[in-house]
Structure 1
């Protein structure tokens, strides 16, 4: 039963193969088994590849099964159409399209399994890339907020500088009226005279302005600091909201890119392994020697081709003979006076009918 199934997979004529030796049947069962297990490997590899895309096991298995059946049907068709005629060059030319396709399939199929085999190394590369992306994302978003925050900080510095300048001015006025009272500067008269009172009045006015300035600027500074806090909070929220995008940077394309950063030799040998698996049905058929089944199949095809050629030749001969007979019949009919008179009579009737029809049309046009 298993042998019959593998023979079915090989695409061979099972009825014709039953008339061959056991060794010939085993050979084609082996070719069929190669076709079958190649399709199984294609199903497994494509299912995993699609799972990395859809992240859904049912969808991956469904489409993987379709892919496996496609490869199975393609291999079975090509293997069954490669005729063993003892001409390796012609057989190889028949297999070239499938070999080219096998290279493409091997690249597509090997990549997902490479990603699974080197998963830990890929995760490390992705982690480094995510860290770089996180820093780059923060720097990029900071460009939207840093100028505003810097300007607000400069405004706060200006307000504080304004208070400091006013304090220096007030302190200077304080030293002036104290020195006037002590007689160490100004009029150099000890005591609180008119000059002292004038300078004290200026100081008190400046002190009142300083207190008002501190109150006003404190309110402005508080408002600016609140704006800075709001901008910092908004920046932190934007960074936090964009982080899941970076954390999700582990899709199929990202993993393939990360895989390319690893040493190429292990990946290359895995590719060669899958290339060997994909081309194994074709290689098995090409390397298989011409056997009893191939000879019998060639004989049947030769018999069919000869029969078709005979039928075509007979049809051509029938057509040629029929043409000659008809030609001879019409040559003989040329001399028949009765046939001539009959055709002349019918021609006259036809001309009369055409004339009457033309007359009726012309008459209607005149009315």
Structure 2
């Protein structure tokens, strides 16, 4: 049962192969088994690749099975259409398009399995890229908010500087009227005279202005600090919103790009393995000498080709004979006097009808 199944997978003619020796049958059983197991590997490979896209096992298995059947049909077609020829060079030219197709299939099959085999290394590359993307993302978001935060901080510093400058001025006025009272400066008269009162009034006005300035600026600073807090909150919110996008940066394309950043030699050897598996049925047929099955298949095709050529030649001869007969018949009929008189009479009647019709049309026009 298994032998018959693998023969079907090889694309060989069962009726011809059943009449061949066991060795010839085993050759095609091996080719069919290679085609079948290549399709199995294609199914597994496609299922994993699609699982990284859809994240659902059922969908990945369905599409993976369809892909496996497609690869099975292609491989079976490739092997079945290679015919043994008397010249190895002609056989290679015949198989060259199929070899190119086999190389493409090997690449498609091997790539998802490489992603699975090097999953840990790929995850490390993706982690490094995600960390760098996180830093770059924070830098970009900070570039949107930091200038405004810095501007508000400068405004707060200006308000605080204004208070400090006012305090320095007020303290200077304080020192001035105290020195006047003590007689150290100004009039240098001890006691609280008119000059002292004047300077004390200036200080009191400045002190009132200072207190009012502190109150006004404190309110402005509080408002600006709230604005800074809101900007910082918005910055954190943007970072929180964009972080899931970075965290989900592990799709099929991202993994393929990460795989390309790993050393190429292990990946290349895996590709060579699948290329050898995919092209082995083709090269098995190319390398193997003509066997019993090939001779019988060639005989069958030659018999059909000869029969078709005979049928075509027979139809051509029949057509040529029929043309000759028709020419001879019509030539003999052309010499008959009775047929000539009859056609002459019919032509005369037709010309009369045409003349009458022309006369009636001209009469109506006039």
Contact 1:49 1:109 in 2 (8 A): no
Seen in structure 2, the aligned counterparts of structure 1 residues 9 and 56 have a Cα distance that, compared at 3 Å, is same
Contact 2:71 2:105 in 1 (8 A): no
Contact 2:38 2:72 in 1 (8 A): yes
Hey, what does 1:10 align to over in structure 2?
A: 10
Q: Distance in 2 between matches of 1:2 and 1:355?
A: 88
Matched, 1:301 2:304: no
Matches within 5 A, 1:123-202: 123-202=123-202
Give per-residue Cα distances to partners, 1:111-162, cap 9 Å, x unaligned.
2211111111111111111111111001101111111101100000000000
Q: Distance in 2 between matches of 1:359 and 1:18?
A: 85
Hey, what does 1:97 align to over in structure 2?
A: 97
Hey, what does 2:203 align to over in structure 1?
A: 203
Hey, what does 2:264 align to over in structure 1?
A: 264
Matched, 1:39 2:44: no
Q: Distance in 1 between matches of 2:18 and 2:227?
A: 90
Contact 1:75 1:282 in 2 (8 A): no
Q: 1:362: how far off?
A: 4.2
Matched, 1:354 2:358: no
Q: Distance in 2 between matches of 1:171 and 1:133?
A: 54
Q: RMSD of aligned C-alpha atoms?
A: 1.4
Q: Distance in 2 between matches of 1:92 and 1:119?
A: 38
Hey, what does 2:343 align to over in structure 1?
A: 343
Runs of at least 4 residues off by over 6 Å:
none
Seen in structure 2, the aligned counterparts of structure 1 residues 31 and 364 have a Cα distance that, compared at 3 Å, is farther
Give per-residue Cα distances to partners, 1:189-239, cap 9 Å, x unaligned.
011100000000000000000000000000000000000000000110011
TM-score if structure 1 supplies the norm length?
Answer: 0.96
Give the aligned length: 366
Q: 1:246: how far off?
A: 0.5
Hey, what does 1:331 align to over in structure 2?
A: 331
Hey, what does 1:29 align to over in structure 2?
A: 29
User: In structure 1, the residue corresponding to 2:20 is in which secondary structure?
Assistant: coil
Q: Distance in 2 between matches of 1:137 and 1:167?
A: 44
Q: Distance in 2 between matches of 1:201 and 1:127?
A: 71
Structure 2: runs of 5+ lacking an equivalent: none
Contact 2:6 2:29 in 1 (8 A): yes
Give per-residue Cα distances to partners, 1:278-316, cap 9 Å, x unaligned.
212212222232111111111111112222222222222
Contact 2:170 2:207 in 1 (8 A): yes
Q: After alignment, is 244-253 or 315-324 more displaced?
A: 315-324
TM-score if structure 2 supplies the norm length?
Answer: 0.96
